[in-house]
């Protein structure tokens, strides 16, 4: 799931490399989407969501950290006044977002989990309107109506909530954590680059996870254990270390670099639209690989939720540019 790939500004001009930027963002979204299925295999093998979050962030920090220090060392320094915000950004916006996402995909289909998580812009608008008292365009109510209608269709609530309740709750709580990520990211990005925010996010998460779950207690047996690839590849197995390496390298570092470079070449509105392809691609991959098919009603609900999220994101961009 993309966290480092989200944008915080809406002021980038169009540039000749737009098509290259779109390709980078789409490839990054594809990597993030594909890694969801790999992560689900690890989770269903018994690895906890918090352990997977620990490995993902520590691995990304190990690979990206030296590059960041060598190329942008001075820019990684932050003001003392921003330290607490950066810690909250790392704990809630990175650690909790990833862990709750992993809880959700272990219990409900990957596409639905991502769609519920991506409703974050709707909750941001509600926060701005009712908590901060910001004047929000009428599009808020359209976005909210579409999102809630879609959620009702996805969960088929009139039939007693067909989906796993814990999985749905985790995905919705994840949306709130992602909203915190966006709000703090918007504020911190006025003073720090996306590279700095990601480095601190990975570092804070790694330190927190080591304090809660020391590395010496890691279930090392999962590294050598052959894990069935499930679904259409159930007859095949790979050792746990190979799947964990995929999640770190191709599910975090590679897409982060792709999206980070793509965002430099695109308007934020275009990047946001391309970001919406992640739940669609993740759902298609999970359907093809794991057989996670949606009912016609759930599929319609997914389209409605996606429309609501896109509407909310456009309204949020308009509010941010005022």
| pLDDT tens column, 203-256 | 999 999 999 999 999 999 999 999 999 999 999 999 999 999 999 999 999 998
Is 208 inside any structural domain? yes
pLDDT score, position 15: 47
Question: What is the count of structural domains for the chain?
Answer: 1
Is 1 inside any structural domain? no
Q: What is the distance between the alpha carbons of residues 13 and 138, in angstroms, rounded to a whole number? A: 27
Is 248 inside any structural domain? yes
Cβ atoms of residues 88 and 184 within 8 Å: yes
The candidate with the shortest Cα–Cα distance to 252, out of 41, 35, 27, 69, is: 35
What are the C-alpha distances in Å from 184 to residues 111, 236, 321? 26, 43, 16
Q: What is the distance between the alpha carbons of residues 296 and 313, in angstroms, rounded to a whole number? A: 26
Is 151 inside any structural domain? yes
Q: Identify the band that residue 4 occupies on the pLDDT scale cut at 50, 70 and 90.
A: very low
Paired tokens of 161: 């909530």
Is 205 inside any structural domain? yes
Q: Residue 5: pLDDT above 50?
A: no
110: number of Cβ within 10 Å? 27
Q: Which residues contact 4 (CB under 8 A, 6 or more apart)?
A: 194, 198, 201, 252, 256, 259, 260
Question: Containing H/E element for 238?
Answer: strand 237-239
Bridge partners of 239? 226
Backbone angles phi, psi at 177, to 5 degrees: -65, -40
Secondary structure (DSSP) of 248-299:
HIIIIIHHHHHHHHHHTTS-HHHHHHHHTHHHHHHHHHHHHHH--PPPHHHH
Q: How many residues does the chain have?
A: 322
The candidate with the shortest Cα–Cα distance to 179, out of 128, 135, 145, 112, is: 128
Cβ atoms of residues 204 and 94 within 8 Å: yes
Is 243 inside any structural domain? yes
Backbone angles phi, psi at 238, to 5 degrees: -130, 150
Is 122 inside any structural domain? yes
- Domain containing 178 equals 18-321
| pLDDT tens column, 88-139 | 999 999 999 999 999 999 999 999 999 999 998 889 888 988 888 888 888 8
Is 229 inside any structural domain? yes
Whole-model pTM: value is 0.89
Instruction: Let me know if 193 is exposed, middle or buried by CB neighbors in 10 A (0-12, 13-18, 19+).
Output: middle
Instruction: Let me know if 282 is exposed, middle or buried by CB neighbors in 10 A (0-12, 13-18, 19+).
Output: buried
Q: Residue 263: pLDDT above 50?
A: yes
* Average pLDDT estimate for 285-298: 92
Please tell me the least confidently modeled range out of 5-14, 20-29, 261-270: 5-14
The share of the chain scoring above pLDDT 70, in percent, equals: 91
Beta strand spans in 5-61 (E):
none
Mean pLDDT of all residues in the chain?
A: 87
Most confident of 2-16, 222-236, 260-274: 222-236
Sign (positive/negative) of CA torsion 151, 155, 161, 165? negative
């Amino acid at each position: 799931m993309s966290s480092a790939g989200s944008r915080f500004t809406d002021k980038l001009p169009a540039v000749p490399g737009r098509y290259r930027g779109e390709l980078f963002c789409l490839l990054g979204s594809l990597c993030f989407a594909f890694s969801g299925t790999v992560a689900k295999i690890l989770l269903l093998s018994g690895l906890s969501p918090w352990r997977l979050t620990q490995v993902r962030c520590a691995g990304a920090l190990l690979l990206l950290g030296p590059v960041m220090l060598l190329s942008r060392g001075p820019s990684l320094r932050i003001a003392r006044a921003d330290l607490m915000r950066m810690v909250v950004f790392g704990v809630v916006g990175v650690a909790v977002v990833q862990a709750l996402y992993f809880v959700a995909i272990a219990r409900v289909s990957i596409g639905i989990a991502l769609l519920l998580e991506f409703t974050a812009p709707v909750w941001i608008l509600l926060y701005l309107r009712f908590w901060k008292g910001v004047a929000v365009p009428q599009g808020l109510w359209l976005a909210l109506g579409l999102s809630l209608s879609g959620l009702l269709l996805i969960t088929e609530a009139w039939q007693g909530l067909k989906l796993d309740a814990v999985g749905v709750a985790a995905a919705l709580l994840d949306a709130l954590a992602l909203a915190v990520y966006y709000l703090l990211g918007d504020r911190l990005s006025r003073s720090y680059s996306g590279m700095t925010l990601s480095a601190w996010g990975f570092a804070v998460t790694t330190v927190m996870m080591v304090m809660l779950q020391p590395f010496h207690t890691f279930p090392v047996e999962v590294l050598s254990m052959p894990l069935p690839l499930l679904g259409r590849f159930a007859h095949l197995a790979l050792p746990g270390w190979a799947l964990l390496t995929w999640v770190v390298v191709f599910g975090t570092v590679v897409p982060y670099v792709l999206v980070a470079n793509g965002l430099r070449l695109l308007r934020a509105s275009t990047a946001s639209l391309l970001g919406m392809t992640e739940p669609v691609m993740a759902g298609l991959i999970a359907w093809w690989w794991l057989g996670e098919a949606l009912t016609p009603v759930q599929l319609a609900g997914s389209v409605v939720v996606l429309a609501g999220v896109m509407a909310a994101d456009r309204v949020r961009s308009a509010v941010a540019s005022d």
